[in-house]
Each structure stands twice: as structure tokens, then as C-alpha cells.
Amino acid sequence: MAPRYKHVIVVGASAGIGAELVLQLAAAGSKVAALARREEPLKRLAAAHPGQVLPIVHDVTDFDSVPAVFESVAQQLGGCDLVIYSSGVMPTVGPAEFDFAKDRQMFEVNVLGGIAWLDAVAERFQSTGSGTIVMIGSVAGDRGRRGQPGYNASKAAVAAFAEALRNRLSGKGVTVTTVKPGPVQTELVAALGFKNAMPVADAAARIIRLAPSGREVYLKFSHRVIFAVIRLMPSWIFRHIPI
């Protein structure tokens, strides 16, 4: 059977969710460009699916290069019908720490790199009248939690940006999906020791299944319910919840 998406770009593909997305999409028959800074893990992905995975070294904070990188990668793939932005960083932040360097890094990778990519992709998909964009957000963007102000704000920003693109591109043949995972077993959150983090293969499979939805989606039904309640919670109550 032909894959749903023939030519896919995964940005942030050297580890975690992005790497697993590459493996599952390639296994399903897609041709996938895998982008990130670290070349070795990208080469391993390519070796796992010879001829199907294109490893591309790219730093998303090299914002000005993004439109040209996107066009070049799409050309090398022979087209592009799905782009997933999965690059993200979440440095450890102490409970009494206020560190602009860390917050800036999170905004540069999680937000500005994402906006650079989504702008370039949206322009092309709008002109062709087709294509799917998936932005990996987080449940962490639903409220300003005390533990990770910069990370929370970065994920709130990408959710708002992706929602605006979804509204802008509705009726133009372009699908924009925002995925809000809870904890997933990757390096990003390994130090936090979540007991019930989702296996990364499970998360990637759910993301691929939800990509065509064109909505803001959670990976678990329970998260949809819990975070609906959390979003409605008054600030003076939320302040006392230790998350």
C-alpha cells in the first residue's frame, strides 16, 4: 500500500520523538529527510532504511538559512507533503533560578526555529494548495507552571502560532496540527524521572495517526480531560499546585 505521506521532513530527528518518527514513517514507505545538528545519529537512521532516509545536518537557530534549506531538502526528496517540527530543548532550571541564557535558548530552538520553518513551509504549501504541518508543542504550554517558566512560555507561543496558521490556511488545502504530548521517555525529560512517561514508539505512532486531524491534539484522552480542567482553573488555585 502507498504511504499516506510520500515525502516527509522531520526537523529535530537525531533523537527522541523525531528519530522515532523518522523510523516509523520510513518503515511505512515514506521517503524522509531527517534534520538536526548531530550527524552520527542521523546517519544511523539512514543506515536503518537505506535509500529512504536523507540525513541533513541543520541548526534551526540558523534562522536565515531555513527557506533555502527547506527548498533544497524538498527538491532532494522529490517533493514534500508533510513537515514535522520536533526540535526542542528544555534545560534544567532550579526552583529559584532565573537564567535568561536558558530561556533564550528555549525560545530560539522551540519557538523561533519553529516559526522560521513553519513560515517557509506555509508559504510553499499555500501556493501548492496542499500539505500537512505538524508542530510538536507540549501540555506544558497550557499554563504558566512554576517549574519551567521559559519552557512553558515557549510551548504556549508555538501553540498560538500554529493555531494562527491553522486558521489562516483553513480552506486553502493545508492541514496544520498541533500535538501536545505529556511526558515521553526521551533524553529531554530523563532527568525528571517521570514514572508514567509514554514509550517513545507509542508517542510517535500516535503523532503519525493524528497528523491529518488539523486540530490541537493530546496523545492521551485523559490528558485532554485533565488539561481542559487545568486550563479553566483560576490562577489563585493553580498557583498552589506543585507542577
Measured CA to CA, the distance from residue 194 to residue 183 in angstroms comes to 7
Site string for ligand NAP, 129-168 (x = CB under 6 A): -------x-x------------------------------
Measured CA to CA, the distance from residue 240 to residue 147 in angstroms comes to 12
Using CB atoms within 10 Å of the CB of residue 236, give its burial: 0 to 12 exposed, 13 to 18 middle, 19+ buried.
exposed
Work out whether 12 is an interface residue with ligand NAP (CB under 6 A): yes
Query: In whole angstroms, how close is the CB of 191 to ligand NAP at the nearest point?
Result: 11
Q: Which is nearer to ligand NAP, 38 or 104 (CB)?
A: 38
Query: In whole angstroms, how close is the CB of 182 to ligand NAP at the nearest point?
Result: 6
Residue 19's alpha-carbon distances to 120, 129, 159, 213, 214, in angstroms, are 22, 28, 22, 22, 22
Note whether 169 and 127 are within 8 A (CB).
no
Cell of 64: 536565515
Q: Which is nearer to ligand NAP, 80 or 200 (CB)?
A: 200
The residue range among 54-62, 166-174, 222-230, 231-239 that interacts with ligand NAP, by the rule CB under 6 A, is: 54-62
3-state DSSP of 127-144 = HHCCEEEEEECCHHHHCC
The residue range among 96-104, 142-150, 160-168, 177-185 that interacts with ligand NAP, by the rule CB under 6 A, is: 177-185
Footprint of ligand NAP on this chain (CB under 6 A)?
Answer: 12-18, 36-38, 58-61, 86-90, 109-110, 136, 138, 181, 183-184, 186-189
